[in-house]
Amino acid sequence: MAAVNEMTRLLRLLFEVEREFLRTVTTLVYRVGKPELKYLICQHAWESAGHARFLRERGRELTTFGTHENVSENIRKIFIEAVGNTNSDPMVLVAGYYEVLKPALLAAYQHYLKVTDHLADWPSKKLVEEFINDEQRHLVEIAPFLQGIEAREWQLHLTQALDDLGGWLGQKIRLPLSANYVWQQEKMPYAHPATCNRGKYPVCSGVFGFDPTEDPIVRPWLTDPKTDARVIRLMVYVWLMMEMDAIDYLATVFIETPNAPFDLHFDLTRHLWDESRHSQFGYRQLPKFGVDLMTLEHSLDLYNILIQMPPHERYAMMTMEFEAGSFPAKAHVMDRVRELNDFEADTLLAFDRNDEQNHVRYGHRWLPEMMAQFGEKRPVEEFVKATQEKFKQVAEIYGGKTPHSLPKAKRLTAEKILRLALSN
């Protein structure tokens, strides 16, 4: 059984690397500014979750893989190092992940193919071949974002840490760390930024309101039968694009739940990827209707408020309050947009609705587990109600603090949406 045991050992290491990648690369989501880069990192995290899940299932078909899902400390330490700290340039960190850690993972998969028997281990071989294709594509997809990024010093720092292992699989000659190597995580542990990065885009506290001369989404207009369906379509695209809020604050949960079951992280990653797709619905559709995205301010309140609360409270608000509470309004919006015979809009809204229903199911499944991770012993219903009240209190302190980046004359408002919608 020696050959089986050795291949199982390598599969186990690959599983742990993929798992830690998705758990830590998500810290980049809210620290990078470009929406396209946020979306791409979410996609790659989801694909890594798929790799890890298949590796786990294949590993459990073999002996010695183990039933626990813990990650070796020597692997975890490198990924925690790659997260950087409060002072780190997020694009330098992206370069570290994609120009050091990911190429090393690609090399590990390629090594696996070389040392396994392609007939005896055919199920693993076919999986690994697909993962190699994904890893190669990931490097191609990220390359445009890294042009002009100077990260040689950080890349060398991570390379030295990885060389101390001899690569992810220990397949290379080990180069022990020098005596003067300093782990940055020991000097300054990672902490979430107080606000999320939206790059070049203008920002504000929130996009929902009641004044059509101030806010892009006027709540009563969404449900008023007199509102033209074309106006509602544009407002809901703004709403969808602003699900970037959900991307940013959900991404904070992974790094703070290192001991959660892998299946919890798997569903969280799917949730994250879904929200990134929903945001892209608005991001890609609004310009088609004449909206200049540089006039649409990004709302920051939800991140700024929720980051003051622990992860299980963030997750409770997201799934049990924001998403569960959105169904009546979104159902009405779907009915109104259907009047336009816009197949693309109908399709996007239908998938958004379907995904959100799954997210609430995730909440019912995983909130009790997440509560247990943080020692919360109250009944779920009692905890959720208390968290809703706490959110209101925290919002009084941290909400509404982001001023408009743009003057009223320049920023997108409901009045301007009305004019745009009726001209289309």
Q: Tens of pLDDT along 295-309?
A: 999 999 999 999 999
- Structure tokens given for 99: 């120009």
Q: What is the mean pLDDT of residues 212-220?
A: 96
pLDDT of residue 247: 98
Please tell me the predicted confidence (pLDDT) of residue 201.
98
pLDDT tens string 107-158: 999 999 999 999 999 999 999 999 999 999 999 999 999 999 999 999 999 9
Percent of the chain with pLDDT over 90: 94
- Token look-up 């991570």 returns 158
User: Is 90 exceeded by the pLDDT of residue 224?
Assistant: yes
Q: Give residue-wise pLDDT tens across range 344-390.
A: 999 999 999 999 999 999 999 999 999 999 999 999 999 999 999 99
Residue with the two structure tokens 């939206």: 198
pLDDT tens figures, 228-263: 999 999 999 999 999 999 999 999 999 999 999 999
Please tell us whether the domain made up of 2-187 is placed in CATH 4.10.140.10. no
Evaluate whether 333 touches 238 at the Cβ level (below 8 Å): no
Report the pLDDT averaged over residues 397-417: 97
Identify the band that residue 4 occupies on the pLDDT scale cut at 50, 70 and 90.
Answer: confident
Q: What is the mean pLDDT of the chain?
A: 96
The percent of the chain in helix, strand and coil, each rounded to the nearest 5, is 65, 0, 30
Q: What whole-number distance in Å separates Cα of residue 104 and Cα of residue 399?
A: 42
All residues at 6 or more sequence positions from 87 whose CB lies less than 8 Å from its CB, including other chains: 188
Residue 328 has pLDDT above 90, yes or no: no
C-alpha 147/C-alpha 12 separation (Å) is 34
Residue 183: count of CB within 10 angstroms of its CB: 13
Residue 1 has pLDDT above 90, yes or no: no
Percent of the chain residues past pLDDT 70, beyond the cut? 100
Domain ranges of the chain: 2-187, 203-423
HSE toward the beta carbon, residue 367, CA cutoff 13 A: 23
Region 263-277: what's the mean pLDDT? 98
**Which pLDDT score is estimated for 61?**
93
Interval 178-188: pLDDT, tens: 999 999 999 99
Q: What pLDDT does residue 154 have? A: 98
